[in-house]
Structure 1
Amino acid sequence: MVKIDQISLPDFPLLLAPMEDVSDPPFRVVCKANGADLMYTEFISSEGLIRDAIKCRKKLDIFDEERPVGIQIFGGDEERMAMAAKIVDVTQPELLDINFGCPVKGIVAKGAGSGVLKNIQLMTRLTDACVKSTSLPVTVKTRLGWDEDTKNIEEVAERLQDVGVKALTIHGRTRCQMYKGEADWSLIAKVKNNPRIHIPIFGNGDIDSPQKALEYKNRYGVDGIMIGRAAIGYPWIFREIRHFLETGEMMAAPTVAERVEVCKQHLQKSLQWKGPHGGIYAMRRHYLNYLKGLPGIKEFRSRLVTLDVPDEINAVLDEVLRTYDGFEMEYTPIHLVNYHENCPL
């Protein structure tokens, strides 16, 4: 068992990454139903929360069936981060997470996200302000450092732990790497093996299969892993990893019927949460992976991403089910793409 303060998680928990415009409540629900152990929201601007911006406030929504959930905030001002932490406290998630990892230029330019990696003292002050302003456990997600010359994650981890952080998730790239190259987990392992560190350390970056999850678990010794891009349109990645960790065997790939059913459930939740227009638009990035591996599926996907009436979308999904009835799904490699110019991981 892994504990984040008083939150009990299974041994080697599987976390869903906070992905902008992806990790919304409908997506988190289907991931939870398919084996994810801890959810994180899309990142939320501390400034937006204080201004009562509608989009930011909407991101505080939580469905009971997705818990436990951590709400993630970002910002570069101590007072505003403290105020945002108090607002989050009232919404009663299981924990508060701070984003010190987003590499996108617009966020970094405001001295937030991974922009804070240039100033460890500021990072420590921002974290301390949040810890003192909430009754929730505070966790942090960050990167190895700003660039190749400033991979200071070991010092960062010690300082954050000292001001009260209860868990740390580390993406194995620097800010300057963005999402290029292979994630380096060796420094994540150094943090985990640091005798001063006693909080859970979770690794993030490039996990796209059950085999790699087991390999990285054994090689780097982290307490758990966070999965982002591999889960988009494929929430089964969580249950497949858990099954492989426990048995050493691969699960059968989800059937066509299961893919269509979960896709429909996701769509219904999305409509419920965002309404007809927003719910339909949010689903369009997921169809590719939900239906990946079906021969000749392109024509169906083209219709799914252009239709804007829920009944017509469900009718196309029913047509997919009839067309591919009896088709045996096989595993297809998950291709990790930088799907969005906002803050994916």
Structure 2
Amino acid sequence: MKTPLFRALGRWAPALALTALALPAFASTLNQNVSWTIDRAGTSTTYRLVAYGDSIYAGYNGSTTNAARFAAPTVDAEYLSALWNADIQSVRRAKSGAVARDVYENKIVAERSWMQSSNTRVVTFEMCGNDGLQARTAFKNQSGTCNYSGLETAVNNCKTYVAAAMDYINANAHPNTRVKVISNLYYPGFNADNVQSSCRDATTGQTVNLRDRFLPALARMNYWMCEYARQKGFQCADSFAQYMAADYDSNGDGVVDSEAIRYRPGDTESAYVTRITQTLRGTLRDANFKMVTASSSFDYIQSDDVHPTYTGGTVTAGLFGGTTGSGAPRYTSFTNGRNPIWNQLGHERMGWALSVYNPASP
């Protein structure tokens, strides 16, 4: 006979397992906090990397009880360990399913003590993915006349809380912090969204292509993440560029595709959005088929078509608390600043994108 506790868990688990694709944030959030130290042989000094975010930094893998050990921030910690010849504690304070406001208020602000430690050297965060996913789901469910206000609200909320998060981190991170980084959004479901809506545009009376509607909204979010970073002393790891275009020049314009679509300091919103949605639109590819050469590709997205792929095992994170542990680095040296699988999995690629901003010394 099941105890009341197990009967309760049985009721909660199905709801907790759902991502924010289908439910509002309050019904689908799950704290997934992990502290994992890269324990490098022959070292005695430990520095800290603090990462705040939603299911991406959590290393969400569909489970309510575990997550990827080597989510992007911990991948970056491994790079730092080699660069600084030190132990690096990767502290991930993440909440799967959280919208930007939730990440800001209940992670960055409420859990500020993690970045206030004197051994903190890196603070990074990501947010806004669930704002976009929820707006996308709501729009897909529309019938009758299309209402685009939900997409606009998602963009505005993203801008508001990204700026607030940067200001708060600037005011509260320990003065020893050497670098602050935001990771922007890739586009999960890029191919799946290439379908017509159920609703009809009020002006044309026609259905609209979902991807054509969602891409500009996502591009605006990404622009402001990187632009606010430029304004407020952060670096911007452009995950959209890392995931959504090939690592070679597919259109013959003389620039590698993934470099060509990156945010450029000095871009206006209009110039960036035009480049992503029009000028170089033909070079965008679904991240399930990330082309690293003209003849080879890797899958950056799990089977849920949302979360990044990973390797390196899992740790407890979710209903039964979070892991605090340590382990030796998987790799002890890096050729040209890259581990051997840097471009083969989603979290590895994002972690490498964070690492390019690591300072040479702590």
Fold shared per TM-score above 0.5: no
Q: TM-score range by the shorter chain?
A: 0.3 to 0.5
- Structure of higher RCO (CA pairs closer than 8 Å, 6+ residues apart): 2
Q: Which has the higher helix share?
A: 1
